[in-house]
């Protein structure tokens, strides 16, 4: 995984064994790619308009194709774990959509672009949209945390790296701009934070230059402008959609900020220190 957006001060770790050094070298080489993939995995749904034919693929078949593609970069063991983490995250959205009474497809995986879930809407109001958006990182964070018992039982750094990757993936999803999950949460809290999220995406492009990130920035700018313009127009439909009670905003804020704190703590605890001679 690439360096995180925040400087970390991890505890001093013992000198790694040769196997750990090889694993760390592989992480370093794939760091830039993984950072871009984390962004893409975060919201592959944004490409639905460009990839409508993906409905023909099955969940299991697309998972196998994605595992094969990621195996070329990280090896099959990490690839299986990474796709499993994506699946858990997306199932969080699926479960909550169905709880909201909205028909949702099973996740379909797109190699190097994450996974997508189809639904006609994200809820009848901004609070429902926030619940759907945050359900992915909530379940995804639990999935990443479940890698830790496997690490403690096996002392295999593969599971520690998967936990770190899962924490980072879900944290990046909380960037406060649509189509990221954090942007969904902001719809119920402070929609103006979408512009802060756009600035964060621009910063990510400078840190991890990648043409795909420009597509996400373009989509984010388009969607943010569309929604902000409609919000400011102040029609009855928009007023009803964004009419969230103070209690609802507080609950969303607690979950959102709690997730950020927990994920930062998880990344700190699972960060692998690499010693360079």
Q: Looking at per-residue confidence, does 276 or 126 come out higher?
A: 126
Query: Is residue 8 assigned to a domain?
Result: no
Residues 5, 188, 233: CA angle, nearest 5 degrees: 110
pLDDT tens figures, 218-269 = 988 999 999 999 888 878 888 889 989 999 999 999 999 999 999 999 999 9
User: CB atoms < 10 A from the CB of 245, how many?
Assistant: 10
> Where residue 123 falls among pLDDT bands split at 50, 70, 90?
confident
Q: What's the pTM value of the predicted model, to 2 decimals? A: 0.76
Q: CA–CA separation, 127 vs 186, rounded Å?
A: 10
Structural domain count of the chain: 1
Give pLDDT, residue 31.
Answer: 53
Query: Is residue 1 assigned to a domain?
Result: no
DSSP per-residue letters across 128-143: HHHHHHHHHHHHHHHH
**Structural domain that includes position 48:** 18-270
Residue 252 Cα distances to 40, 160, 218, angstroms: 24, 29, 27
Query: Is residue 44 assigned to a domain?
Result: yes
pLDDT tens figures, 46-59 = 444 444 444 445 77
Query: Is residue 13 assigned to a domain?
Result: no
Query: Is residue 176 assigned to a domain?
Result: yes
Average of per-residue pLDDT values in the chain:
80
What is the CB-side half-sphere exposure of residue 134 using CA atoms within 13 A? 22
Q: Looking at per-residue confidence, does 133 or 51 come out higher?
A: 133
Query: Is residue 4 assigned to a domain?
Result: no
pLDDT > 80? residue 26: no
Query: Is residue 33 assigned to a domain?
Result: yes
Query: Is residue 3 assigned to a domain?
Result: no
pLDDT > 80? residue 3: no
């Amino acid at each position: 995984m690439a360096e995180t957006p925040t400087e970390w001060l991890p505890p001093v770790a013992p000198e790694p064994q040769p196997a750990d050094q090889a694993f760390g070298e592989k992480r370093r080489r794939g760091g830039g790619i993984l950072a871009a993939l984390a962004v893409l995995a975060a919201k592959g749904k944004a490409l639905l308009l460009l990839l409508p034919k993906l409905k023909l693929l099955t969940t299991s078949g697309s998972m196998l194709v994605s595992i094969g593609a990621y195996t070329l970069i990280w090896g099959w063991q990490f690839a299986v774990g990474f796709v499993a983490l994506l699946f858990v995250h997306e199932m969080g959205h699926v479960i909550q959509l169905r709880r909201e009474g909205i028909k949702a497809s099973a996740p379909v995986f797109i190699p190097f672009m994450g996974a997508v879930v189809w639904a006609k809407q994200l809820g009848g109001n901004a609070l429902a949209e926030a619940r759907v958006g945050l359900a992915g990182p909530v379940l995804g964070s639990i999935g990443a945390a479940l890698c830790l018992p496997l690490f403690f039982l096996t002392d295999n750094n593969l599971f520690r790296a998967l936990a770190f990757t899962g924490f980072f993936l879900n944290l990046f999803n909380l960037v406060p701009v649509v189509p990221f999950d954090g942007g969904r949460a902001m719809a119920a809290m402070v929609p103006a934070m979408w512009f802060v999220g756009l600035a964060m995406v621009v910063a990510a492009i400078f840190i991890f230059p990648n043409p795909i990130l420009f597509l996400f920035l373009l989509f984010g700018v388009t969607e943010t402008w569309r929604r902000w313009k409609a919000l400011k127009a102040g029609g009855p439909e928009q007023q009803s959609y964004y009419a969230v009670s103070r209690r609802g905003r507080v609950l969303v804020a607690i979950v959102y900020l709690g997730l950020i704190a927990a994920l930062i703590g998880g990344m700190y605890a699972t960060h692998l220190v690499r010693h360079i001679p």
